[in-house]
């Protein structure tokens, strides 16, 4: 039989979120309601650090109302009544019963600083998760007139959140997140395949232009065959050897690129249909690589931040390693386009990031890039 909601039920008591931080917030608020002067020992949090609107409203009221004299507070509930009235302006569901519950469930009011630190840690995790989700959403926003610049700005915003968390929590040695990184998203190759074929054919027809796009690397291309053919072209160009469809095909055979079932005739026909310029198609490939790297970075950090078992220290280490992949592609993008987008000054990292994990990042390729 379906349950009919009872208007008299107190939702705050009837259905508390199962997350431990909810109970931590209750303990902290109870300690402050019982002894408002313990607020002097609480730092690092604000009203928006709490996970529910009711708790945020209560904390805002506690921190803004004048504190009562300890002797007066022990004799009556006048200050608690004012806190309740102020809190109800933001959260109408607050009741005097719930304030009484908060006081009752607080194990040790003297532990308020520890409770506040836990609230701050959970808020840091939520902030990181929100920033990672925003980066992923931006990558897939096809309406952006300048997708790369916007995505890089979101990556900077994400990095700023990571730096702030590192400054709030004294770093420990590089402990990686316990959460496994997600597999790369399956890319849609349709547009990328066509443009990469034009890149390879045009570079074969105009090998003198290959040197101008040294910032493009094989891992930027979506298909293993295309990546291998680009490596063949750059190798031949570097050695000043003859370049045409036949010499590239021969080099591809020596590298085992035809072992996967690629027909020699098909490769020859592909390399014989140039169009446009090498630089244009190379920049398009690099743009896709950058956006795909940003998406995979966002998903990695999203996975780390979605796991409440990860500590702020682990989140910082994992996020900085993931962001290193974007930094690598970003440098090549700036070399390709001759632009250096303005960036906010960031404090020196408190944790030394490990080497970029470019293998996993470059495996994820997207074709949603538009100029």
Residue 304 has pLDDT above 90, yes or no: yes
Give domain status of residue 112, yes or no.
no
Per residue in 313-368, pLDDT tens?
999 999 999 999 999 999 999 999 987 655 544 554 444 444 434 333 444 444 33
Residue 98: pLDDT band (50, 70, 90) is very high
State whether 52 and 137 are in the same domain.
no
State whether 267 and 160 are in the same domain.
yes
3-class DSSP string for 103-170: HHHCCCHHHHHHHHHHHHHHHHHHHHHHHHHHHHHHHCCCCCCCHHHHHHHHHHHHHHHHHHHHHHCC
State whether 300 and 223 are in the same domain.
yes
State whether 267 and 370 are in the same domain.
yes
State whether 86 and 146 are in the same domain.
no
Residue 72 has pLDDT above 90, yes or no: no
The token duo for 58 is 């209560």
Give domain status of residue 181, yes or no.
yes
Which ranges of the chain would DSSP assign to H, the alpha helix? 11-14, 20-34, 53-64, 70-75, 78-88, 96-105, 112-139, 147-168, 190-205, 224-238, 245-254, 264-271, 278-306, 312-337, 358-363
**CA pair distance 286, 224, nearest whole angstrom:** 16
Give domain status of residue 117, yes or no.
no
State whether 343 and 245 are in the same domain.
yes
The domain boundary residue, chosen from 107, 142, 174: 107
Taking residues 91-120, report their average pLDDT.
Answer: 94
184/187: higher pLDDT: 184
CATH number at residue 270: 1.10.860.10
Q: What is the pLDDT of residue 79?
A: 92
Q: Which domain holds residue 15?
A: 11-107
Q: Which of 24, 28, 47 is nearest to 36 (CA)?
A: 28
State whether 222 and 142 are in the same domain.
yes
Taking residues 175-187, report their average pLDDT.
Answer: 78
- The mean pLDDT value of the chain amounts to 87
State whether 65 and 204 are in the same domain.
no
State whether 89 and 196 are in the same domain.
no
Q: What is the pLDDT of residue 227?
A: 96
Total domains in the chain come to 2
Buried b (16+ CB within 10 A) or exposed e, 143-159: eeeebbeebbbbbbebb
State whether 85 and 221 are in the same domain.
no
Residue 237: pLDDT band (50, 70, 90) is very high
Residue 2 has pLDDT above 80, yes or no: no
Residue 188: pLDDT band (50, 70, 90) is low
The domain boundary residue, chosen from 73, 107, 141: 107
Give domain status of residue 233, yes or no.
yes
State whether 100 and 126 are in the same domain.
no
The token duo for 104 is 């009752």
Give domain status of residue 1, yes or no.
no
State whether 68 and 132 are in the same domain.
no
pTM over 0.85: no
The domain boundary residue, chosen from 107, 132, 147: 107
Distances (CA, A) of 293 to 156, 159, 368: 14, 15, 12
Q: Which of 190, 68, 159, 55 is nearest to 115 (CA)?
A: 55
Give domain status of residue 43, yes or no.
yes
CB 367 within 8 A of CB 222: yes
Give domain status of residue 294, yes or no.
yes
């Amino acid at each position: 039989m379906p349950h009919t909601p009872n208007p008299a039920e107190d939702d705050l008591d009837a259905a508390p979120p199962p997350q431990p931080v909810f109970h931590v917030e209750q303990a902290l608020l109870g300690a402050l309601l019982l002894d408002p002067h313990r607020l002097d020992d609480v730092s690092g949090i604000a009203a928006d650090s709490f996970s529910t609107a009711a708790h945020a409203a209560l904390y805002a009221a506690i921190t803004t109302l004048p504190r009562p004299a300890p002797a007066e507070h022990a004799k009556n509930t006048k200050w608690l009544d004012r806190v309740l009235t102020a809190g109800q302006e933001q959260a109408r569901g607050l009741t005097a019963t719930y304030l009484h519950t908060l006081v009752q469930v607080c194990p040790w009011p003297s532990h308020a600083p520890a409770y506040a630190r836990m609230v701050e840690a959970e808020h840091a995790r939520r902030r990181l998760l929100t920033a990672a989700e925003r980066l992923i959403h931006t990558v897939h926003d096809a309406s952006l007139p300048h997708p790369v610049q916007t995505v890089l700005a979101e990556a900077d915003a994400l990095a700023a959140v990571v730096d702030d968390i590192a400054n709030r929590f004294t770093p420990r040695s590089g402990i990686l997140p316990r959460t496994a990184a997600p597999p790369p998203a399956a890319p849609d190759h349709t547009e990328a395949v066509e443009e990469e074929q034009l890149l390879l054919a045009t570079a074969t027809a105009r090998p003198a232009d290959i040197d101008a796009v040294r910032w493009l690397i094989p891992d930027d291309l979506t298909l293993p065959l295309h990546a291998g053919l680009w490596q063949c072209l750059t190798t031949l160009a570097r050695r000043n050897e003859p370049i045409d469809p036949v010499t590239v095909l021969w080099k591809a055979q020596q590298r085992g690129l035809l072992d996967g079932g690629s027909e020699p005739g098909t490769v020859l026909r592909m390399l014989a249909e140039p169009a446009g310029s090498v630089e244009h198609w190379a920049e398009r490939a690099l743009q896709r690589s950058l956006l795909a790297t940003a998406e995979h970075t966002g998903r990695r950090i999203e996975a780390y931040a979605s796991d409440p078992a990860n500590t702020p220290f682990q989140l910082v280490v994992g996020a900085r390693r993931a962001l290193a992949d974007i930094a690598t592609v970003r440098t090549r993008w700036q070399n390709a386009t001759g632009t250096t987008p303005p960036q906010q000054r960031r404090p020196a990292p408190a944790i030394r990031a490990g080497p970029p994990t470019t293998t996993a990042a470059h495996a994820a390729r997207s074709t949603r890039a538009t100029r």
